[in-house]
Structure 1
Amino acid sequence: MKNTALSQRAASIALLALSLALGACASAPFKGASLEGADRNVTPAQVLSNPQAQQGKRVVWGGQIISSQNLAGMTELTILAYPLDARTTQPETGKASLGRFIIQQNGYLETADYAPGRQVSVVGSISGVRQASIGEASYRYPVVQAQQLHLWPRETESSYRGSPFHFGVGVGIGL
């Protein structure tokens, strides 16, 4: 009787440990992201084609930082937009870019961390379009007022995602 109870307890602990290990491998949107009410289908090009219709719309965008600068009361990031992974919202830099946009984040961000080449994802509202230049060419940038901003860790930044099959505690198939 004592061995049966001990075996059941050991099995319960093993099952709990396995559940926690598998749960840790699950992909989710960036930490703290609330995608509720965000239109994941709106692109920077759509905003440029009809800015008034997109004004105030909540979007989820991301990409690679081109430049960052601290201004009075905010930080601006210029981003080369990429499609986002449907599960994690991480930019897929191995795909064709979707144009450029500007993120405005209230407060101070360390520009050494938010440096060119780093990946970010943002949930925010379209606040307008700004005319600027790239070299000698004129360019219109959609502007997103950040509500949630995620700087992706350097080790996850890669256009190569590896094999869609992952082995470890269990087997997962990434799509």
Structure 2
Amino acid sequence: MSSTPTAKPRRAEPARRFGATLALGLSLGLAGCASGVPEALRHGTGVSTTPVEVQRAPQAHLGERVRWGGTILAVHNHPRNTTIELLARALDSSGEPDPEAPGEGRFLAEFPGFVDPADYPEERTLTVVGILLPTRTRAVGDYPYRYPVVAVEHSHLWPEPVPAPRYPPGVYAPYPWYGPYGPWRGPWYGPW
């Protein structure tokens, strides 16, 4: 008697394909979340020099690559380039400046060509990666201030933060069934 091999059901194959597709989709989805920020800005590239250190010894840091960010103070357009004046702030792990952190000195971010000031409004946060150029002295009020200058290679203008909603006292959420003003109020919520 000859035995012929019987075909095994191939049910594991679709499950394996589904798992691989799911893993690929998740990895692409996670990569897409961070795709708005250049890779050079998300990870610390260059040295960890601060604008204050460069002010103290500008020649020692000339040509170093830095990742700095801060709050935009002003945009100055020139015939061949644009400089954005920033108040340096501490960066978080993704490279975003903390607008609530104390200032760490001022610096200039130099962009080639024209940058529209309407696209870079004051008080927005900006992160740049670039090479340190010689410092420039400009007046801040009557004080001659020595600005470190970064020749920008990569930059990211961070979105304007969405303010947290503020509700009047006694209102806990915008839903009609919470708080003293909704239709579901009653004696069990406390004294009115």
TM over 0.5: yes
CA distance in 2, matches of 1:12, 1:28: 22
CA distance in 1, matches of 2:140, 2:162: 25
Identify the residue that residue 171 of structure 1 maps to in structure 2: none
Give SS of 1:139's match.
strand
Relative to the length of structure 2, the TM-score reads 0.69
- The RMSD of aligned alpha carbons is 2.7
Against the structure 1 CA distance between its residues 144 and 12, is the aligned structure 2 distance closer, same or farther, given a 3 Å change threshold?
closer
Aligned residues: 155
User: Does residue 1:84 correspond to 2:91, yes or no?
Assistant: yes
- Greater radius of gyration (CA): 2
Against the structure 1 CA distance between its residues 124 and 17, is the aligned structure 2 distance closer, same or farther, given a 3 Å change threshold?
closer
User: Does residue 1:19 correspond to 2:27, yes or no?
Assistant: yes
Identify the residue that residue 138 of structure 2 maps to in structure 1: 132
Could you tell me how far 1:113 is from its partner in structure 2?
A: 0.6
- Deviation track 1:75-132 (CA, whole Å, cap 9, x = no partner) reads 110000011123x211122222111011111111121011111211111111122222
Aligned partner of 1:126: which letter?
L
Relative to the length of structure 1, the TM-score reads 0.75
Could you tell me how far 1:33 is from its partner in structure 2?
A: 2.3
Aligned mate of 1:9, from 17, 20, 24? 17
User: Does residue 1:119 correspond to 2:121, yes or no?
Assistant: no
Identify the residue that residue 167 of structure 1 maps to in structure 2: none
Could you tell me how far 1:147 is from its partner in structure 2?
A: 1.8
Against the structure 1 CA distance between its residues 85 and 159, is the aligned structure 2 distance closer, same or farther, given a 3 Å change threshold?
farther
CA distance in 2, matches of 1:158, 1:81: 21
Aligned mate of 1:51, from 55, 58, 64? 58
Identify the residue that residue 147 of structure 1 maps to in structure 2: 153
Give SS of 1:84's match.
coil
Against the structure 1 CA distance between its residues 42 and 22, is the aligned structure 2 distance closer, same or farther, given a 3 Å change threshold?
same
Question: Which of 1 and 2 has higher RCO (CA within 8 Å, sep 6+)?
Answer: 1
Identity of paired residues, percent? 33
The gaps in structure 1 that reach 5 residues or longer are 161-175
Against the structure 1 CA distance between its residues 20 and 45, is the aligned structure 2 distance closer, same or farther, given a 3 Å change threshold?
same
Aligned mate of 2:49, from 26, 29, 42? 42
Against the structure 1 CA distance between its residues 150 and 37, is the aligned structure 2 distance closer, same or farther, given a 3 Å change threshold?
closer
Identify the residue that residue 112 of structure 2 maps to in structure 1: 106
Aligned mate of 2:80, from 34, 48, 73? 73
CA distance in 1, matches of 2:45, 2:22: 39
